[in-house]
Every structure is written in structure tokens, then in C-alpha cells.
Amino acid sequence: MKATGGSLAGALAPGAGMAGGPGTAGEPARDVGFSVSLERYSGPLDLLLGLIRREEIDIWDIPIARIADQFLQAIHLLGLDEAAEYLEMAARLLRIKAQMLLPRRGDEEPWEDPRHELVRRLLEYQQIREIVDWLAVAERRRAECYTRGWIPSLPNLPPPPPELDLTELVEAVERVLAMMPDPVMVRVMPRPLNVEGATQRVMDLLAERESFGWRELLGTRPSIVDILSSLVALLELARGGILTLAQRKAFTPFEVARGPTYQAA
Amino acid sequence: MDQRTRLLEAALFAAPRPLALDELAVLDADATEDDWRRAVGELRDHYQAEGHGVELAEVAGGWQITTLPIFAEAIERAAFAARPAKLSAAALEVLAIVAYRQPVGRAEIEDIRGVSCGGVLRMLQERGLLDVAGRSEGLGRPILYATTPLFLELVGLAELSDLPRTEELAVALRTPQATEP
């Protein structure tokens, strides 16, 4: 596919009308016949330059009202009128158009052409486009010379360390809370945690088995108080070394096991 | 060809990238850079005079064995070797701006192009054509980008100064005085 080699004038041409070069460009602009696709323009400046070429406009004296109208029409036809960058350019053109309409104030101060900045940017961009054409030719020519190891192999990166962000943490909490039958809470009232009861449950389970998944503490329909009590109990016992907590893999439920100071009751 | 020239040929054949003269020193402690320059000359003349399918090209500050362009089509058709995907117009625009303005920040690139280019910059960095060259002293200390030797390889240039000079282009950059009505 020929992506960049063509001239700007060609890029905007409705069919073959422009293919002959600038000599055929003088025909009046038609409102229909844009058969170009979005990816042919790399931005609003590209489109604007295309219009200026097509209309054979002197870049130093742009008829801003006409070009602003055509720009609006073009982005509408191309379905670009929702792209922020094109809208920004449209707004800029309309502002310049308005400024051009303002009466100039005598000779008091030199009049600054409101198109000045736009022309500077267009020329700057035009130059980049020329360099792009040059680079595209150089790239194509170089591609005709095969070398050994032309495609660099991707670096062999170690797997990234597991990352946890707040959302994932909140989601994990929500997964646990989702085990509750009805998480709708209407009133907030203090309810004491039953840490002693939970501690007893932990010790009972540890007496039975050397290790177990912590969710076994909760039963089938745990309340928030049950969950929190169990967590506090586990943390307290872990601090005392009576049990150890281990998570084999990220996002798996952690395992509770007898710790160094565990003594069977 | 003498032994050193044959060693040079072997090294260039084995290397996946262009080799600069000063890199060749490790091959043979007795040889000077001038010796290597002579060897490069001999190898290049040899390829030209004897009628080979490859030639010696000066690329990205070094030397590289490349196939002759006349065989490109046949090799392409046979799919013996893969070529990197061609860059989009947007990517070439960013490369062009960086090549001429480096080191340059993203804001300036976007200002010239009139479109945002974060994705293109990232892609060019991943392909190794651009690299971070430091940070600007300006507000927020934005990252500055520069082209890499791989960029020179992509367009087959020996060095950055082989790019066309801006005065040679049809439009001169920065001619604000000319905008006076």
C-alpha cells in the first residue's frame, strides 16, 4: 500500500481529477465527490493544506472565510466533526474569520494579521511533510536491501512483578462481602465483634487439622460481623505465632496453619 | 583478499547490525583503525569488481553487508526473509520532527502536527527507532526524545547529517517576516 509517497494534492483529489498535477486543479470546488478515508489525513493541518492545494490558494493570503467553510464541510463529509483536533482547528479558523471582519483601527498601531500564526504552522507542517516524503522514499529504497538480522529481536524481559492497585483490593473485599446473603444495610449501628468466639472456632479447627483455608471459618451464610471477627482473630493469633498465614498465589484465599507457638489444648 | 579482510567479512556476516570501525578493534589487537578502513575498502571493491549478490553499505555509523536492490523482488516473492512493517504516515511525521528537532519533547511534536501522538511515540520507542534522551529543564521536566541508530538503519543513512538540509526543501522553515501583508 502506498501510504505516504503521494503528494498532498493527490490525497484530497476526488478521484482522478487531480492526478494530472496542479494544472488541473483550477476547476471550481464541488461539494460532492470527496471519496477519501480518514486515515489519509494525519491531522487537521494535513487536511487544511490539502484544501489550500486543491483551491490553488496563495498561502500568504488565505481567503479565510472560504477556507473555513470548506474545512467545516470537509470534516463533516469525512465524519471527522467529532474529532477534537479537527474541531479545535475549525474553531480557530472561525475565530480568525471573525477577527478579519473586525474593523481595523486607523494607523494608530500596526495591524497584526490574525492569519499569521496559522500560516506559520502550515508552513512548518508543510516542511515536515516534505521530510516525510523524503523519509518514505529512503525507507522504501533501504527495504530493497536485505541484511542479516534486519528485525531486532525483542528483549527477553523477566515477568513483571505482580501489582496490586486499590481497585483490585476493593474488588477482593467485595468478593468476600458478596458471600453475604443480603448486603443491603439500612442502618448503621455499632455491633461488637465476637473475637473470642472466632478465636475459639480457629483453635477448634487447628486442633482438628494442621492447616485449612480461612474461608472455612465463615460457614455458609456469614454476616459482616462474622467475617470481621474471624479476620481479627486470625491476625491476633498470627501475631502470637500460634498460627501462620500463607497465600500460595496472588488472589487465592490464604491458608491458615499451626504456628511455632501452637500448643494443642 | 588478505586474512584481515576475510575476518572483517566474517564479522560483518555474523553481526545483526552495522559495525563501526572502532568496534572492530576487539577482533584483532594488532590492527589499527586505518587497517580496518583499508580492509573495508578492499572488501567493498571486491564485492563490486567480482560481481556479487551483496554489497558493502555504510549505515548508521558502521558497515553492513546487504543484498543488491535488483534481487529484492525475487527475495520478497520467495519470502526467504521478513521485512519490518512499513511505518504509517503519522509515525514518519513524528520521526521527521524528532530527527530535525532532537532532543524534543512530546508537546512540541504535537504542536507541530496538530494532533496528539502518545501512541505513536510509544510504538516508535518499542520498535527502537526513538529513545528517551533526557528531560527538559522546563515546567514538569518533560521527557525528551531522540532518534536511535536503528532509525538510520531504517532509512539507510550513514549519519544524521545525511538528511536533507532544511534549506534544500521547497518550503523554508520559520519565515515569519514574509507574512507581512
> Residue A220 — φ and ψ, nearest 5°?
-85, -35
Which residue matches cell numbers 461539494?
Answer: A31
- pLDDT surpasses 50 at A262: yes
User: What is this model's ipTM?
Assistant: 0.84
Q: Which residue of A has its CA nearest to B66?
A: A147
Mean pLDDT value of segment A187-199: 80
Q: How confident is the model at residue A184, as a pLDDT?
A: 64
Q: Which stretch of A90-104, A107-121, B36-50 has the lowest confidence by average pLDDT?
A: A107-121
Which residue matches cell numbers 519490518?
Answer: B84
B130 forms beta bridges with B147
Helix (H, G, I), strand (E, B) or coil at B63: strand
Residue pLDDT, tens place only, B21-38 = 989 989 988 889 999 999
Q: How confident is the model at residue A176, as a pLDDT?
A: 85
CA-to-CA distance for B88 and B123, rounded, in angstroms? Answer: 11
Residue pLDDT, tens place only, B115-126 = 888 889 999 999
Helix or strand (DSSP H, E) at A103: none
Contact with chain A for residue B150, Cβ under 8 A: yes
Helix (H, G, I), strand (E, B) or coil at B33: helix
CA-to-CA distance for A41 and B181, rounded, in angstroms? Answer: 30
Residue pLDDT, tens place only, B130-180 = 999 988 888 888 899 999 999 999 999 999 989 988 776 665 444 333 333
Q: How confident is the model at residue B96, as a pLDDT?
A: 94
Residue A262's identity, in one-letter code, is Y
Q: Please indicate whether residue B157 or residue A223 has the higher confidence score (pLDDT).
A: B157
Q: Which of B69, B169, B180 lies at the smallest CB-CB distance from A144? A: B69
**C-alpha cell read off for B64:** 553492513
Q: Which of B84, B114, B156 lies at the smallest CB-CB distance from A145? A: B156
How close A256 gets to chain B, by Cα (Å)? 44
Instruction: Tell if the CB–CB gap between A3 and B163 is shorter than 8 Å.
Output: no
Residue A146's identity, in one-letter code, is Y
Q: Counting Cβ atoms within 10 Å, is residue B150 exposed (0-12), middle (13-18) or buried (19+)?
A: middle
Instruction: Tell if the CB–CB gap between A150 and B128 is shorter than 8 Å.
Output: no
Residue pLDDT, tens place only, A120-139 = 889 889 889 999 999 999 99
Describe the crossing of helices A195-208 and A224-239 by its angle, rounded to 10 degrees: 60
- pLDDT surpasses 80 at A160: no
Which of A74-78, A205-209, A253-257, B5-9 is modeled with the greatest confidence?
B5-9
> Residue A27 — φ and ψ, nearest 5°?
-60, 150
Nearest to A135, CA basis, from B146, B153, B19: B153
> Residue A164 — φ and ψ, nearest 5°?
-120, 130
CA-to-CA distance for A141 and A20, rounded, in angstroms? Answer: 25
Helix or strand (DSSP H, E) at B132: strand B130-135
Q: Which of A115, A130, A141 lies at the smallest CB-CB distance from B156? A: A141
**C-alpha cell read off for B73:** 523482488
Average pLDDT, chain B: 86
CA-to-CA distance for B159 and B61, rounded, in angstroms? Answer: 6
pLDDT band with cut points at 50, 70 and 90 for residue A151 = low
Contact B36, B24 (CB under 8 A): yes
Helices (H), chain B: 3-14, 33-50, 72-78, 89-101, 106-113, 118-126, 149-155
Contact B61, B149 (CB under 8 A): yes
Which of A9-18, A207-216, B3-12 is modeled with the greatest confidence?
B3-12
How close A138 gets to chain B, by Cα (Å)? 5
Residues of A in Cβ contact (< 8 Å) with B16: 148-149, 152
Q: What is chain A's length?
A: 265
Instruction: Tell if the CB–CB gap between B67 and A150 is shorter than 8 Å.
Output: no
> Residue A258 — φ and ψ, nearest 5°?
-60, 135
CA-to-CA distance for B175 and A208, rounded, in angstroms? Answer: 87
Helices (H), chain A: 8-12, 44-54, 64-77, 84-101, 116-142, 166-177, 195-208, 224-239
Describe the crossing of helices A84-101 and A116-142 by its angle, rounded to 10 degrees: 140
**C-alpha cell read off for A262:** 501452637
Q: How confident is the model at residue B177, as a pLDDT?
A: 38
Helix or strand (DSSP H, E) at A258: strand A255-258
CA-to-CA distance for B172 and B166, rounded, in angstroms? Answer: 7
pLDDT band with cut points at 50, 70 and 90 for residue A154 = low
- pLDDT surpasses 60 at A30: no
CA-to-CA distance for A5 and A46, rounded, in angstroms? Answer: 14
